[in-house]
Structure 1
Amino acid sequence: MTSSTISCTPARSDTTNSEISPVLPRIGVVGLGNMGRALTSSLLTRGFAVSVFSRSQAPLGELEKQGAQKVSSISALGACNVLFSSLSDDDALESVTSQKGGLLDSLAPGALHISTSTVSPEISRRLSQAHDSRQQQFVAAPILGNPDLVQSQRMFVLLSGHAQACEKARVILEPIALRIILLGQDPGAANLMKLACNVLTASTLQSMGEVIALLRKAGMDEQIAFDIFTSTMFDGRVHKSYGGKIVQQRYRPAGMVIPLAQKDLRLALQEARNLEVPMPTTSLVHDRLGAAVDKGWSALDWSALGALAAVEAGLDTNV
């Protein structure tokens, strides 16, 4: 598998993990936000033994009821063969991995760190080298899909890193993913692709918010408009799922909160500057997300770009 390789695993069957591998590894999960909790729940339903760590006690109760084992420190996850991290940004991933008593210090030689976080390509490359120096393995495996899709095992996974580590990760991910897309040996490739996907999603939300506000202001029925959009030329997953949130003004609970979306566009723009690629639309949408944060909407889903368009058009909105 070279750095330019792009391939996809076939759609998974409905076999159980015990049919896929006779010996299941002990899996650890660090980072129990919305995505981390959904990922843990999905692993548990497939029969994996899962240990979890969180500084906050709030997410642990329900996961323990499902069979997860709570541990008191990151270092206690060192007994795991495979470690998933689901963290908010570069700083959080760096801290959990590189701090004293963190994953680098704790994982055994041969253990695999699967980073599902949406982070910069640079940090994945750096952490991959750090794990290599400890005879550990690292792959970037950011997820396309909201927590509901993760928990229902309908997520898409972008996967990159050393070939042997990717194959080891694939065996773990295949039972809980709808599709795994291999993007080569550069650990940063999967992260860059995830940022690109989030740029397209955010740009779509901005555009749908604008046209729905236009039609509402003209007195037209936005539900009819939504039905026309999604049954003709704009029938993609993003148009249907997030467009539906805009039309229904359903911005809670958030699948992706606005500050995280803003962070992802900032990382994409940083890569664009490094590669000298103009991205004017991305810059505009990044600023629109910032305007939503300034309104105190940090807890809302990023589809609240539609609410911002409505408010600025003088329309009522439910936020």
Structure 2
Amino acid sequence: MSSKASHDIGWIGLGRMGEAMAARLVKAGHGLSVWNRTASKADPLAQIGAEVVTDKAAMAHCATVFTMVSTTDDLKDILFGAGGVLSGNARPKRVVDMSSISDTGSAEIRKGLTDVGVAYLSAPVSGNAKVAKAGKLLVVASGPKAEYDAVQPLLAALGRAAMYVGEGELSRVWKIAHNTMFGVIIQSLCEITLMAEKAGIARHVFLESINQSVLGSMYTRYKTPALVNLDFTTTFTPKLLLKDMELGIGAAKQFGVVMPTASVTRDSIASLAHQYPGDIDFSVLLLELARSAGMKLEAENVKVGDGL
């Protein structure tokens, strides 16, 4: 471990997503310094060549600092809090935040960084940890175009594509819209799957047919194994999905857009988050909706696709 970052690229936040994404950069040949609140989570990165830094303030010696954390408050604390990246005299050239946070919170962070001469790029992603490990993430960025151009090769190394959508916090609006749709689709997919199963169509047959139809997508394909085999190994928890749905409803109110389908889905996910507050995948929604329909599901133990 080191008390001072020695690489030009730093990474803060090594949860499911952060660890998988940081590993992509290391495996692409980039020197990387990493920090995480729970130091042991950095061990897999150290094993493949990343430098583990013990003090997050020392990450200010990197030119580019990537962050991938859970909430706006977490990001503010990491950057501006006691012992944070900006607590000393050193300054990174830019911060690239890849978390799912609100547009208003992101704007506050942008102002705070700009005031001390640090550039800021908002760059949330589409995909979960499994998608990240497979190199299939989509990165969507907003902020100064010159900053996007400077880090575009790094963003491209993280997944299948990187896109620039404009100035300011437009990428946050994109991610809020994306994850709101995320919730609406899983709600609809679970509902229609149960209807088909109760009518007599095997769950794996129905889902595979949807995947082969015009309605199929990467999303329906990678959720199919979980729904067929009732494998709710965590990719994204009900609590985190609820947070994003609430951001979506809030954005809709802000922009004067009526979203009745999303509003009903938000209530369903809120109930799910109360029933399953811990570490479980949000696709457990299938069980809750089945219970409402008087159905007791069993794992079909069928291999379906590759989950992506």
TM-score by length of 1: 0.87
Residue type of the partner of 1:224?
A: V
Aligned to 1:168: 150
Task: Determine the C-alpha separation between the residues in 2 that align with 1:175 and 1:183.
Answer: 19
The answer to whether the 8 A contact 2:69-2:75 is kept is: yes
Alignment map for 1:114-129 (pairs within 5 Å) = 114-129=96-111
Mark the CA change 1:79 to 1:37 in structure 2 (over 3 Å): closer, same or farther: same
Residue 306, structure 1, aligned to residue 269, structure 2: no
Deviation (angstroms), 1:177: 2.4
CA distance in 1, matches of 2:125, 2:247: 16
Structure 1 position 296 matched with structure 2 position 273: no
Checking the alignment, whether the CA contact within 8 Å between 2:62 and 2:92 is kept in structure 1 is no
Q: Give the equivalent residue in structure 2 for 1:133.
A: 115
Q: CA deviation at 1:86?
A: 0.4
Residues 15-164 of structure 1: matches in 2 within 5 Å? 26-106=8-88, 108-109=90-91, 111-164=93-146
Instruction: Note if 1:240 corresponds to 2:217.
Output: no
**Could you list the runs of 5+ residues in structure 2 that have no partner in the other structure?**
1-5, 300-308
After superposition, the C-alpha distances for 1:70-93 in whole angstroms (9 at most, x for unaligned) are 111210111111111101111111
Distance in 2, Cα, partners of 1:108 & 1:171:
25
CA distance in 2 between counterparts of 1:100 and 1:171 reads 32
Query: What is the aligned-residue RMSD (CA, Å)?
Result: 1.9
Offset of 1:250 from its aligned partner? 1.8
What is the aligned length?
A: 294
Residues 7 and 33 in structure 2, CA contact (< 8 A), matched pair in contact too:
no
Show the counterpart of 1:259.
239
CA distance in 1, matches of 2:89, 2:18: 19
- Any idea what the Cα deviations from partners look like across 1:133-173, whole Å, max 9, x if unmatched? 11111100001111122223221100000122111121321
Mean Cα deviation higher: 169-178 or 208-217: 169-178
> Cα offset for 1:297?
5.0
TM-score computed with the length of structure 2 as normaliser: 0.90
Do the aligned residues in 2 keep the contact of 1:42 with 1:152 (CA within 8 Å)?
no
The structure-2 alpha-carbon separation of the partners of 1:249 and 1:65, relative to structure 1 and needing over 3 Å to count, comes to same
Is contact 1:77-1:107 (8 Å) kept?
no
- The alignment status of 1:201 with 2:182, answered yes or no, reads yes
Q: Distance in 2 between matches of 1:317 and 1:28?
A: 45
Cα distance in 2 for residues equivalent to 1:175 and 1:295: 38
Contact 1:119/1:191 (CA < 8 Å) preserved in 2? yes
User: Structure 1 residue 267: deviation in Å?
Assistant: 0.8
Long gaps (5+) in structure 1: 1-23
CA distance in structure 2 between the aligned counterparts of 1:107 and 1:35, rounded to whole angstroms? 30
Q: Deviations over 1:155-204 (max 9, x none)?
A: 11000001221111213212332111111112x11011011111112111
Which SS does the other structure have where 1:159 is aligned?
strand
Structure possessing the higher relative contact order (Cα contacts under 8 Å, 6 or more residues apart):
1
SS in 2 for 1:308: helix
* CA distance, structure 1, for counterparts of residue 65 and residue 142 of structure 2: 16
Aligned counterparts of 2:68 and 2:198: Cα–Cα separation in 1: 41
User: Over residues 10-56 of structure 1, what are the superposed CA-to-partner deviations in whole Å (9 max), with x where a residue is unaligned?
Assistant: xxxxxxxxxxxxxx962111111001100111111011111111121
Q: How far apart are 1:121 and its partner, in Å?
A: 0.7
For 1:107 and 1:159, locate their aligned partners in 2 and report how far apart those are by CA, in whole Å: 28
Q: Distance in 2 between matches of 1:172 and 1:221?
A: 44
1: distance between equivalents of 2:181 and 2:103?
18
